[in-house]
Amino acid sequence: MSVNVNRRLKPLIYWSILALLLIAPAAALPTQQPPPCTETAGVIERPSYRSALIETNMVYSIYLPPCYATSDTAYPVLYLLHGSNDDDNHWLRLGLQAELDARIADGRLPPLIVVLPFGNWIANENDFGAASWGNVLVSELLPLVENTHRVQSRPASRAIGGISRGGFWAYQIGLRHPDLFRTIGGHSAFFDLYHAPDAYTPLDLALTLTPESPLSLWLDRGSADYAAPGLDLMHERLSSVGMPHTYTIYPEGEHNNRYWGAHLGDYLDFYAQAFAQAVVAPTPVAFITNTPRPEPTPIPTPSAGASYLLLPAVAFPSRLYDLSSEALGRVLAGEQDPALVLTEEVALVLAGQGYAVSALTPLVA
């Protein structure tokens, strides 16, 4: 694909799709394959941060997959929240790290980053304003993780789940922020109608969903779990609005670590399936699949007073985009075009040419 850029910005520009979701480098530029990973174990780190919202020093544990330090890959990210009066080691004490290593090694789970936040005192509070655990996670921790670690930042590559009280928060956060998370897991999640305002309780948020909501939802409990009434009600409400979800009641199990540890593999299978579905390209729309591939636009020979810049680019949502010289001029002057997505390489080229492309323009690798 090519774009002919006249210094006077008069020609029409033809932008065409190079891929359906993520664009690849220009065909003439070979991609370098990363070396095979020979490590078999991930690494646990425990960074700290300061929450300005609650004026508290916070910590979180983070699992980095094998070969993270020697690769430049961006990974999907899973946030797993602990239960009431527990901490960021809750999931690790259940055997999470060994399960992650084994499943990544045999291919049952894609390499991923797992964030284990410690909710400190705020996670047990029924506060839902600015100074709430949900707000700390979404407004402070999530941006911190994405600025300091190589995670994929699209909603389909983020998942959130939790145990008991953590399951409540996972649904409370996930249902309020489908723009951030597309996969939500509630493992013996504790739901009731009375300890959160209507706009913040997952049981009421569930009634706002539709069959078209782009979420993957999981619920589970053991047969002897005291959280059963709230989970059953959540299942009923999701069913009443036609929202697809998985609700598993295991024949044995109480509301305890023995139960959650026994089903850790099932939980990871759910998240693995959700991430796998996220990377499958959607069925192409009819006009793309049925229209013959056009002949490549010939690259004109530069004439005096003109220069030509070849740009791999993609545009959404139509995935086929005509950009006028006037629109191009606005883009190169720093105005955001909401339909335009550029590769990081192209953005660097434009910056090197002195063009002030808007910082709000989405970039893909």
CA separation for the pair 84, 107 (Å, rounded): 33
- At 282 the pLDDT is 38
> Which of 158-162, 250-254, 275-279 has the least mean pLDDT?
275-279
**How many CA atoms does the CB half-sphere of 272 hold within 13 Å?**
16
Quick check: 349 pLDDT over 80? no
Whether residue 202 sits in one domain with residue 69: yes
pLDDT digits (tens, 9 = 90+) for 40-54: 999 999 999 999 999
Which of 126-140, 198-212, 273-287, 323-337 has the lowest average pLDDT? 273-287
Going by the DSSP 8-state scheme, the letter that residue 1 receives in this structure is -
* pLDDT over 70 (residue 318): no
Spell out a b/e string for 294-331, using b for 16 or more CB atoms within 10 Å of the CB, else e: eeeeeeeeeeeeeeeeebbbbbeeebebebeeebbebb
In a domain, 232, yes or no: yes
DSSP string, 108-170: SS---EEEEE--TTGGGS---SSSSHHHHIIIIIHHHHHHHS-B--SGGGEEEEEETHHHHHH
Residue that terminates a domain, selected from 247, 278, 309: 278
pLDDT at 150: 96
In a domain, 7, yes or no: no
* Domain co-membership, 170 together with 210: yes
Give the strand order in the sheet containing 313-315.
313-315, 340-343, 363-364
Rounded average pLDDT over 304-325:
46
> Which CATH number covers residue 198?
3.40.50.1820
Q: Is the pLDDT of residue 355 over 60?
A: yes
Q: Write out pLDDT tens, residues 54-98.
A: 999 999 999 999 999 999 999 999 999 999 999 999 999 999 999
Angle between helices 264-278 and 96-105 (to 10 degrees): 50
Print the domain residue range for 96: 43-278
Q: Which of 257, 278, 299 is the last residue of a domain?
A: 278
Residue 148 has pLDDT above 80, yes or no: yes
Q: Are residues 169 and 291 in the same domain?
A: no
Residue 30 lies in a domain: no
Q: Number of structural domains, the chain? A: 2
Res. 314 pLDDT band, cuts 50 70 90: very low
20 has pLDDT over 50: no
Summarize pLDDT for 95-124 with one digit per residue, the tens.
999 999 999 999 999 999 999 999 999 999
Q: Average per-residue pLDDT in the chain?
A: 81
Alpha helices per DSSP H over 254-339: 257-262, 264-278, 286-290, 325-332
